[in-house]
Every structure is written in structure tokens, then in C-alpha cells.
């Protein structure tokens, strides 16, 4: 069963009755299962849905064993909600020192806390990062794509950047005979053709360097 209660750090003592006995967390949207016991709205609805037998008889999960005659008629407990909403709580995000009412925490602060941590949406990465640092992470994420400055291919994973650029056929490189005087700058994919077209020139430059005093 999925927990529906508030998973927050409370800074004050509070009655145990404010914890849902189904999910063990602080009650979210207090709802009566019977006259005595109160649960999270989501928890009690899910419990009733799973517990209904052929005769639709359901026993309250609060320990009283009282039958719930009509699972469709659940009533809220506004008094519980008021107590819960005012519980002094602390933000659970690392390095955040914010404290305040639980209601403000879950309805406002948690949505805009600068210390919110999220996982990179790229499944292969999944690194946990601050929400405000998403743009910085995108610039270095190994599973983000980047545009090659030579061939303009933008679908290369950053983790393959070095390998691609080392082999990119459109990267301009110096001729291997640069040290004897060939100043040609050609694309990597045209090296073989360049050497064939300039064979005589390269041999001449090599001979001149070898015989030069």
C-alpha cells in the first residue's frame, strides 16, 4: 500500500492520534473510518477498496474492529486538519534551515526551496542535483548531447565527445608533412586524398630539408 501521509520532520511533540495507523505518517486530509478513528483520506479509501468482500462488510483498521457500514460515506475531521496544519515543521532538504507551519511547508515552501534536489531526468545518469543547478548540470552531464564544432552533429553524447572529435572526418588538421614545409590544413577525412595529390610536393620538401645545410 502506498503511503499517503505527510513525511515531514516535526519540531514539537504532538498526539500520536495524528499519525495514520495505516501508513504511520502524519495524517493527510483527516478522514473518519469510524466514529473513533481517523486516517489519511487516501489511505482509508485505498484500504476500503482492497478490503471490501462479497458482502461489502469492512472492519475499521484502527483496532476497534467496528464494521464500516457504508464505505462510500467517509467524513472529514476538520479539527484534526487544523492541528496538523499548525505543527511546527522543518524543511527536509539538506542544508535548508527553514521552519514553519506544516501547511506552509507542504503547500508553499517545498515547491520553491532553493535546496530542492531532483534526479537528472536522463535515465542513464540519474544524478541527484539541486533544482537551481539543472542548467549547470546539463552543461557537463555525460548523457546529454552536444554539437560537434567540426561536423555540427548535435546527437553525440558528451561521454563520447573526446572519441568523436579524435575521429571526426571534418576536423581540420595539419598535414603530416608540416614539419618539412607543407602548410596544408585539411579535413581529417581528406588526408589520404591530400597526400596522393601532393606526393611529388611532399617528396621534394622532404629532400630539400634533408639536403639543406
Domain 116-168 indexed as CATH 3.90.1720: no
The pTM score is 0.60
Q: Judge whether residue 1 has pLDDT over 80.
A: no
User: The domain 9-111 is classified under which CATH number: 3.40.228.10, 3.30.40.10, 1.10.357.10, 3.30.70.260?
Assistant: 3.30.40.10
Place of cell 487544523: 82
9-111 and 116-168 in the same fold: yes
Residue recorded with cell 515547491:
111
Q: What is the pLDDT of residues 87-139, one digit of tens each?
A: 999 998 888 999 999 999 999 998 889 898 889 999 899 899 998 899 999 99
Instruction: Give the tens place of pLDDT for each residue, 168-186.
Output: 988 888 898 988 889 888 9
Q: How far apart are CA 45 and CA 72, in angstroms?
A: 9
Q: Is residue 103 packed enough to be buried (19+ CB in 10 Å), middle (13-18) or exposed (0-12)?
A: middle
Amino acid at each position: 500500500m502506498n503511503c499517503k501521509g505527510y513525511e515531514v520532520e516535526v519540531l514539537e511533540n504532538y498526539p500520536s492520534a495524528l499519525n495514520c495507523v495505516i501508513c504511520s505518517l502524519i495524517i493527510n486530509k483527516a478522514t473518519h473510518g469510524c466514529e473513533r478513528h481517523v486516517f489519511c483520506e487516501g489511505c482509508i479509501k485505498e484500504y476500503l477498496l482492497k478490503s471490501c468482500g462479497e458482502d461489502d462488510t469492512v472492519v475499521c483498521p484502527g483496532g476497534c474492529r467496528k464494521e464500516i457500514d457504508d464505505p462510500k460515506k467517509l467524513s472529514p475531521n476538520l479539527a484534526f486538519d487544523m492541528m496538523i496544519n499548525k505543527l511546527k515543521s522543518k524543511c527536509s532538504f539538506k542544508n535548508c534551515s527553514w521552519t514553519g507551519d506544516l501547511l506552509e511547508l507542504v503547500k508553499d515552501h517545498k515547491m520553491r526551496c532553493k535546496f530542492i534536489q531532483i534526479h537528472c531526468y536522463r535515465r542513464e545518469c540519474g544524478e541527484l542535483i539541486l533544482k537551481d543547478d539543472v542548467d549547470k548540470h546539463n552543461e557537463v552531464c555525460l548523457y546529454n548531447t552536444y554539437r560537434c564544432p567540426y561536423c555540427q552533429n548535435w546527437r553525440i553524447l558528451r561521454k563520447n565527445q573526446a572519441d568523436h572529435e579524435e575521429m571526426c572526418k571534418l576536423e581540420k588538421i595539419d598535414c603530416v608533412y608540416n614539419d618539412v614545409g607543407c602548410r596544408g590544413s585539411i579535413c581529417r577525412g581528406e588526408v589520404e586524398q591530400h597526400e596522393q595529390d601532393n606526393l611529388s610536393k611532399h617528396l621534394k620538401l622532404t629532400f630539400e630539408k634533408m639536403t639543406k645545410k
